[in-house]
Amino acid sequence: MSPLPAAVPLLEIRNLHVSFRTHGRHMTEVVHGLSFSVAPRSTVALVGESGSGKSVSALAVMGLLPEESSAVDAASSIRYDGRELLALDRAERRALCGHEIAMIFQDPMSSLNPVLTVGTQIGEVLRLHLGMSRAQARQRTLELLEEVGIADAAHKIDSYPGQMSGGQQQRVMIAMAIACEPRLLIADEPTTALDVTIQQQIIELLARLQQRREMAVLFITHDLGLVAQIADTVVVMRHGHVRETGPAMAVLQQPQDEYTRALLRCRPVLGQRPARLPVIGDQLLQSDLIVVPDLPAAVTDAPPLLVVHHLSKHYQLRDGWWRQREFRAVDDVSFTLARGQTLGVVGESGSGKTTVGLMLLRLLQASSGSVLFDGRDLLALTAREFQPYKRRIHIVFQNPYASLNPRFTVGQILLEPLRIHGIGDSEAARLAMAASLLDKVGLPASALQRYPHEFSGGQRQRIAIARCLTLQPEILVCDESVSALDVSVQAQVLNLLKDLQQELGLSYLFISHDLAVVQYMSDQVMVMQQGRVVELAPADQLYRQPQHPYTRALLAAIPGHASR
């Protein structure tokens, strides 16, 4: 959609400089002279790796930077509809932000109040900014939940955030942001946690809102597959600097900057399975690097390491005062996983993918079925008998904000499992192992002394992956383990997982909503819908000739897939 001509841009950022206090009084500049504008009804995509300054710039627009540890240079300018935002007092800024300017934050679980229902939280926005009564706010909240694709909204409105999947939490955040139908929506990675079909629904929803309310969107993302579909203009950032700006199709099809070209080459592409994915450093050193696809990995006849039979998880939910109804989160799932192989698991949010992974580790009690690991049923073992298996099977959780102890340094997080299991001859040896693991996931050894809150979401996920690797498990359950990572770091982590698989014979249960990543990583792919397996086949066969209508729908929803 072409932006409407406007004498005054809706949002105009000029010469933005943002600094943070790092050690004592020392200020480090993280955004260096950022300039761009957003016209009414247009979409500007802010693209770059983690740490490039994208989210910091958005927080500066919203006035949400921490006052005690950050500073915006006096020469900076942020104008909204002709008004200088940096000159407004706190009350004026608060009245504007949330009503006319709204923001969808990257991590829904840290943004939603865990002790209030989602209906209460969305209703609070409507009552505060639009003056609705409680009854009016509840009815509008139901409409918003349905609009963003939450099934059974009448029941979900009274749910707490912890009772919802990551994708459902993100949709609640989107509903909250669009509640007042703002003129400018800042969307910070709004589709990161969503599967491809819901992602498509959200993109279409934002497009409809733009058309009806002349809403502009500043869309922050590391998913370059989305940019061509949604953006009029692209701003590429790296290390706080703008590397390239221009019309979306021109930047994506004929990038002028070598960094932009490198960024575009890092993402896995359906139908291509190179031996390794290129990372930014490789591409910048050799800008004309050509990646030649390898033949698909052959599925071996090795005996299965893990055999799952008829695994199910059922819940009894209250339906009114007296009645209960059965909800089948996982229903009669069976599969095998051989040593050194990867089984990809795909499906929409709520399809049961994560529930399967949690039952394998006994973090969630199965209703029925068996999980045979080296011939022993993990579900039938006593707690004492299961103890040795905790070292052999691990999980990388979806949410790195919730899975890392905020009171521990990164060093303590990595050293704790080594000490508990008696790995390493000395504390110095364990420290060396921890530093080596950080290096493998692309973080410096100096990170050992820092706390999780000092890292971006992508960096926290790398720390979580490093922690899982401390005990060198035989099976690793990767639950959306790269969904929070930008394309270059994602490529680095996927390469690391491939290397470790070859070196140690690791087996992966790779859960993801990113079908291109699943195809690249997997020997076989299992497609789940509403708790059941609807298709299970070798990866390349499934992507070339999907048999089930649901699998075909998932593939069709991938941005740009239909045009390939």
Q: How confident is the model at residue 556 (pLDDT cuts 50, 70, 90)?
A: confident
State whether 240 and 164 are in the same domain: yes
Q: Is 20 among the domain residues?
A: no
State whether 256 and 321 are in the same domain: no
State whether 104 and 173 are in the same domain: yes
Higher pLDDT, 100 or 98: 100
In angstroms, the Cα distances linking 211 to 41, 60, 200, 215 are: 7, 27, 17, 7
Q: How confident is the model at residue 369 (pLDDT cuts 50, 70, 90)?
A: very high
Whole-angstrom Cα distance, residue 445 to residue 411? Answer: 9
pLDDT of residue 480: 85
In angstroms, the Cα distances linking 240 to 51, 76, 237, 458 are: 8, 14, 6, 17
Q: Is 347 among the domain residues?
A: yes
Least confident of 63-72, 221-230, 380-389: 221-230
Q: What tokens appear for 60 in the block?
A: 């500066």
Q: Is 461 among the domain residues?
A: no
Find the Cα–Cα–Cα–Cα dihedral 256, 262, 266, 271, rounded to 10°. 50
- Out of 265, 296, 317, a domain closes at 265
Q: Is 190 among the domain residues?
A: yes
28's torsion region: left (phi>0), alpha (psi -120 to 50) or beta? beta
51's torsion region: left (phi>0), alpha (psi -120 to 50) or beta? left
* pLDDT 10s digits, 318-329: 766 777 788 889
- Out of 211, 234, 265, a domain closes at 265
297 phi, psi to nearest 5 deg: -65, 135
DSSP bridge partners of 346: 527
Q: What is the mean pLDDT of the chain?
A: 85
State whether 228 and 369 are in the same domain: no
Whole-angstrom Cα distance, residue 180 to residue 184? Answer: 11
Place of tokens 């941005």: 559
* pLDDT 10s digits, 165-207: 767 888 898 899 888 889 999 998 877 666 777 777 778 877 8
* pLDDT 10s digits, 492-545: 888 888 888 888 889 999 998 888 889 899 999 999 999 999 999 999 899 889
Whole-angstrom Cα distance, residue 445 to residue 439? Answer: 7
> Domain total for the chain?
2
Q: Is 538 among the domain residues?
A: yes
Whole-angstrom Cα distance, residue 450 to residue 329? Answer: 39
Higher pLDDT, 27 or 80: 80
Place of tokens 């930008």: 486
pLDDT of residue 293: 47
Q: What tokens appear for 555 in the block?
A: 């593939």
Least confident of 304-308, 389-393, 497-501: 497-501
Q: How confident is the model at residue 330 (pLDDT cuts 50, 70, 90)?
A: very high
In angstroms, the Cα distances linking 248 to 46, 135, 557 are: 11, 43, 20
Q: How confident is the model at residue 564 (pLDDT cuts 50, 70, 90)?
A: very low
Q: How confident is the model at residue 561 (pLDDT cuts 50, 70, 90)?
A: low
Q: What is the CATH number of the domain that holds 45?
A: 3.40.50.300
State whether 167 and 256 are in the same domain: yes
Whole-angstrom Cα distance, residue 321 to residue 363? Answer: 30
Whole-angstrom Cα distance, residue 148 to residue 495? Answer: 35
Q: What is the mean pLDDT of residues 66-73?
A: 86
Place of tokens 């090795």: 302
State whether 128 and 234 are in the same domain: yes
State whether 128 and 45 are in the same domain: yes
State whether 324 and 243 are in the same domain: no
Q: Is 369 among the domain residues?
A: yes
State whether 369 and 513 are in the same domain: yes
Flag whether pLDDT at 45 surpasses 90: yes
Question: What's the helix, strand, coil split of the chain in %, to 5?
Answer: 40, 25, 35
- Could you list the residue range(s) of the whole structural domain that residue 125 is in? 38-61+89-265
Global model pTM greater than 0.75: yes
pLDDT of residue 283: 58
Parallel/antiparallel/unpaired status of strands 368-373 and 376-377? antiparallel
State whether 256 and 317 are in the same domain: no
Q: Is 436 among the domain residues?
A: no
- Residue 14: which of 259, 220, 234, 242 has the closest Cα? 242
Q: Is 29 among the domain residues?
A: no
State whether 200 and 146 are in the same domain: yes
Please check whether residue 528 is in contact with residue 363, taking contact to mean a CB–CB distance below 8 angstroms: no
- Out of 239, 265, 291, a domain closes at 265
pLDDT of residue 295: 42
State whether 102 and 170 are in the same domain: yes
What percentage of the chain has pLDDT greater than the value 70? Answer: 91
